[in-house]
Amino acid sequence: MEPFAASSRREARVRSVVAPLAAALMLTSCPVELPVNASIAFPCDSDQDCLSGQVCRGHLCLYADAGAGHRDAGAPDLAGRDLASRDLAGADLNQPDGAGFDRAPIDAGAWWNADWHRRRKLTFDNAGRNETLLDFPVLVKLDDSRIDYDRTTGDGIDVRFVDADGSELYFQLESWIPDDTSWFWVKVPRIEALAANDFIWLYYDNPGATARSEQSLTWSGGYQAVYNMHYNFYDSSGHIVDPAYDNRTGPGSGQIAGARTFDGTESWIDLGDNLPILQSVSAVTLSAWIHPNRLVAEQTIVAIGVHSSSAPTPEARAFLSLRNSSVAVGGRASDSEGQRDIVGSSRAVEAGGWYHVVGVIDFASGEASLYVNSVRNAQGPLALAQSATANTTASNGAIGARADGQSQLFSGIIDDVRVSGVARSGIWIGAEYENQALDSFIDYGGEESR
């Protein structure tokens, strides 16, 4: 029955588009010829969803002779969108769009909402990476060359981000500073591998807009804790409800907006008790931006504790630390087993500079990896007792110290700390670094108005 069902879907889509066009053309006295492959394209999951002679490329039906890099100029760039993406206007935030096959195609260049008067196209460069990035939090860095602050409203409350197909995207505003630099995190559902033309739209200039920023939904792609370290001590992912407790850290200038400074003697951030994170996960990724003031035997960057009846405990389910000029990552799967870790090469880090450090533990394979500024610095086995973490809460956790906050205190600045319950790939980590450090991942298009 499947071939018949696929054929029915194709016919339904053709009728949904051709019938209105034909009716409109009957009202004119001029003969009009509709090109077969010029401006009508449909979403797809396989070749069976397409018309005869078409193939499904990047969730878009294209004619086979259009070329691998071709995108129909009058059709939506559906390669830039996950078809099961969240619908801002709907109540169900995870279900696929069951009506996707029957809706009319959307012009990728059509204006999203007439209440917004200005926009810019943001195009991503993923051409050198052979991995499709799904639910990727893109850092959008705005200054007066990328947005007309005089045309925005209030504290940037009229800023919106819209996918190529017209879907409004989740985002978090980290910092808004008119006539200087403003920082947004935008969850992009899909950026195709080896592609340099996937894009989203930045809209602004709506005096009647109301504030909107879906912070926790921006960080739903495997993130279990995200601390931007700017204004407050809340977990942006929403998994840890209570704010972290600041123990004498100070404000500092970060790699991304603001950060926190640590004195190496008494300042650290207490993430709280009974943390509902890293439970029954087969992998973990810890990452942060660090700017060390000095290099000493051991300085913990972030640690998530084990479950212990004698909490608080310094023992960690997962940790990322600095050992002299090397980075280390380690932890344990069982709450009762001993700590396992790997240490990267020496002189990977020097005092007085910014570094993006990432540790990945794959409990299922027993492998761990370290990355410094997107370059893999070490990889090796961990002799773990089981292939996933225990199904227990973490008794405590800390930033800038061991899990109980009593030793291995960090000296310097820490920014943008993340805990993920998945193993991020080297390609993902490289895209993060290019986006956050090099500011070359996005091409900011010129302003358009209406």
Q: What is the structure's pLDDT at 313?
A: 92
Q: Quick: pLDDT tens for 376-434.
A: 999 999 989 999 999 999 999 999 999 999 999 999 999 999 999 999 999 999 999 99
For residue 77, report the phi and psi dihedrals to the nearest 5 degrees: -90, 75
Does residue 49 carry a pLDDT above 60?
no
The pTM of the full predicted model, rounded to 2 decimals, is: 0.77
Q: What is the structure's pLDDT at 408?
A: 98
The answer to whether the CB of 180 falls within 8 A of the CB of 143 is yes
Average pLDDT of the residues in 153-163: 95
For residue 350, report the phi and psi dihedrals to the nearest 5 degrees: -125, 155
Q: Which of 209, 69, 201, 81 is nearest to 136 (CA)?
A: 81
Q: How far is 243 from 249, CA to CA, in rounded Å?
A: 15
Q: Which domains are assigned to the chain?
A: 2-75 (no CATH), 118-215+437-449 (no CATH), 223-421 (2.60.120.200)
Please, which residues have CB within 8 angstroms of residue 263's CB and are 6 or more apart in sequence? 248, 250, 409, 411
Residue 154 binned pLDDT confidence (cut-offs 50, 70, 90): confident
Does residue 94 carry a pLDDT above 70?
no
| % of the chain with per-residue pLDDT over 70 | 76
Q: What is the structure's pLDDT at 442?
A: 98
Cα angle: 245, vertex 321, 390; to 5 degrees: 75
Q: What is the end-to-end Cα distance of the chain in Å, rounded?
A: 48
Residue 50 binned pLDDT confidence (cut-offs 50, 70, 90): low
Q: What is the 3-state secondary structure (H, E, C) of the chain?
A: CHHHHHHHHHHHHHHHHHHHHHHHHHCCCCCCCCCCCCCCCCECCCHHHCCCCEEEECCEEEEHHHCCCCCCCCCCCHHHCCCCCCCCCCCCCCCCCCCCCCCCCCCCCCCCCCCCCEEEEEEECCCCCCCCEEEEEEEEEECCCCCCHHHCCCCCCCCEEEECCCCECCEEEEECCCCCCEEEEEEEEEECCCCCCCEEEEEECCCCCCCCCCHHHHCCCCEEEEECCCCCCCCCCCCCCCCCEEECCEEEECCCCEEEEEECCCCEEEEEEEECCCCCCCEEEEEEEEEECCCCCCEEEEEEECCCCCCCCCCEEEEEEEECCEEEEEECCCCCCCCEEEECCCCCCCCCCCEEEEEEEECCCCEEEEEECCEEEEEEECCCCCCCCCCCCEEEEEECCCCCCCCCCCEEEEEEEEEECCCCCHHHHHHHHHHHHHCCCEEECCCEEC
Residue 51 binned pLDDT confidence (cut-offs 50, 70, 90): low
Residue type, 274: N
- For β-strands 171-175 and 245-247, DSSP reports them as unpaired
Q: How far is 25 from 11, CA to CA, in rounded Å?
A: 20
Range scoring the smallest mean pLDDT among 56-70, 186-200, 272-286: 56-70
Mean pLDDT across the chain, nearest whole number? 82
Q: Which of 249, 197, 227, 255 is nearest to 401 (CA)?
A: 249
Average pLDDT of the residues in 196-205: 98
Average pLDDT of the residues in 273-281: 96
Q: Quick: pLDDT tens for 103-140.
A: 334 567 899 999 999 999 999 999 999 999 999 999 99
Q: What is the structure's pLDDT at 72?
A: 30
Residue 56 binned pLDDT confidence (cut-offs 50, 70, 90): low
Please, which residues have CB within 8 angstroms of residue 92's CB and are 6 or more apart in sequence? none
